[in-house]
Amino acid sequence: MKKLAVAALVLSTLSTGAWAHEQGEFFIRAGSATVRPTEGAHGTLGHLNGFNVDNNTQLGLTFTYMATDNIGVELLAATPFRHKIGTGATGDIAKVHHLPPTLMAQWYFGDASSKLRPYVGAGINYTTFWGDKFNDNGKETGLSNLSLKDSWGLAGQVGLDYLINRDWLINASVWYMDIDTKARYNSDGTAVPAGHYSDKVRLDPWVFMFSAGYRF
């Protein structure tokens, strides 16, 4: 009986250790990533009865390497996000696409044998914009030639991994990203005075991700 108890304890210990986030491990997560901007604008766009950017959900991917049992390095990627941009005075006037790859240094709480691993992270974000264009409504207000400048900024993160077995995990995580850009465009004078404009725009989104992961 004692031998069976000892054997069960050993197997339990080995199983728990096999499920851990350990030094040298690599894992990938995939799931839904929702960008919720906390937007704002200066210049002309900021004086048209409010500046609005809608939410968007895409496939989110994270790639993580455990440098130690508690320190991880993570790269956030995703399929391109698409946002409608508008003001209170004009309604939706444009659509933009962007990708915000983000590199994080992470601290995982708990020890290497824990199935539940909360973590925090801090890092740097690079956001690239393309496909910026005014829609028919924007063109009717006399606006043209929209472009947004790429952005560098800081990012913060909290998350939680739950290890289902030795290979699979589920995850919930939240990021905050500092994304400041400049919107450049022209006006023919229909809605705003004619000229070339360069307005500061703040996106600063919260990003919510729910995912499943596989460990290698």
Give pLDDT tens digits for 193-212. 899 999 999 999 999 999 99
The DSSP secondary structure of 2-14, one letter per residue, reads HHHHHHHHHHHHH
Average pLDDT in the 96-113 region? 93
Q: What pLDDT score does 9 carry?
A: 41
Question: Rounded to an integer, what distance in angstroms lies between the CA atom of residue 215 and that of residue 117?
Answer: 14
What CATH topology corresponds to 2-215? Porin (2.40.160)
The DSSP secondary structure of 172-196, one letter per residue, reads EEEEEE--EEEEEEEE-SSSS-SEE
Strand 116-134 to 26-36 pairing: unpaired
Task: Single out the residue of 26, 29, 118 nearest to residue 77, CA to CA.
Answer: 29
pLDDT at 132 over 70: yes
Give pLDDT tens digits for 143-188. 999 999 999 999 999 999 999 998 999 999 999 999 999 999 999 9
